[in-house]
Structure 1
Amino acid sequence: MNKDIAAGKWEQIKGSVKQTWGDLTDDDVAQINGSAQKLAGILQEKYGRTKEEAERQVNDFWSRHNSDL
């Protein structure tokens, strides 16, 4: 899972991140800052996901939004 997003593209899709994972705060999204690894870590903390589940969810999200990136 090495799918980091460039800053400009991150600005375009961070709303989708908050929509997909509604419990994420603005601070969470700011901390993620386009990092797939940070997003997975926050999903583990906020939603109690295993590392594998969180990584799968992040990879699925990136795949769905690939055309936006």
Structure 2
Amino acid sequence: MGTTQNTWDQVQGNWKQLTGKVKEKWGKLTDDDMKVIEGKRDQLSGKLQERYGYAKEQAEREIDEWTSRQ
């Protein structure tokens, strides 16, 4: 889990540059969603659950997979 958090810290630090990639992966997220998320993993998870109807575990898994590729 530590590695995932370190990787997420990098995502959070580069959030503005990564918003395009986030929207490419999850096209249902809006610009307003991006402002709310603002690099916060729990906010991204919540928005994925809201927009895609994911269960929390599925949202977390998708985030982990996406983060590991960044």
TM range (shorter): 0.7 to 0.9
Task: Point out where structure 2 has 5 or more consecutive residues left out of the alignment.
Answer: none
Q: Percent identity?
A: 46
**Moved beyond 4 Å, runs of 4+:** none
- Indicate the residue corresponding to 1:58 in structure 2: 63
TM superposition score normalised by structure 2: 0.82
What CA distance in whole angstroms lies between the structure 1 residues aligned with 2:25 and 2:43? 16
For residue 45 of structure 1, give the secondary structure of its aligned residue in structure 2.
helix
TM superposition score normalised by structure 1: 0.83
For residue 44 of structure 1, give the secondary structure of its aligned residue in structure 2.
helix
Cα distance, 1:36 vs. partner? 1.1
- Tell me how large the CA RMSD over aligned residues is: 1.3
Deviations 1:14-68 (A, max 9, x none): 1100111011110001111001111011000100000000000011111111xxx
Task: Point out where structure 1 has 5 or more consecutive residues left out of the alignment.
Answer: none
For residue 18 of structure 2, give the secondary structure of its aligned residue in structure 1.
helix
Which has a greater percent of helix? 2
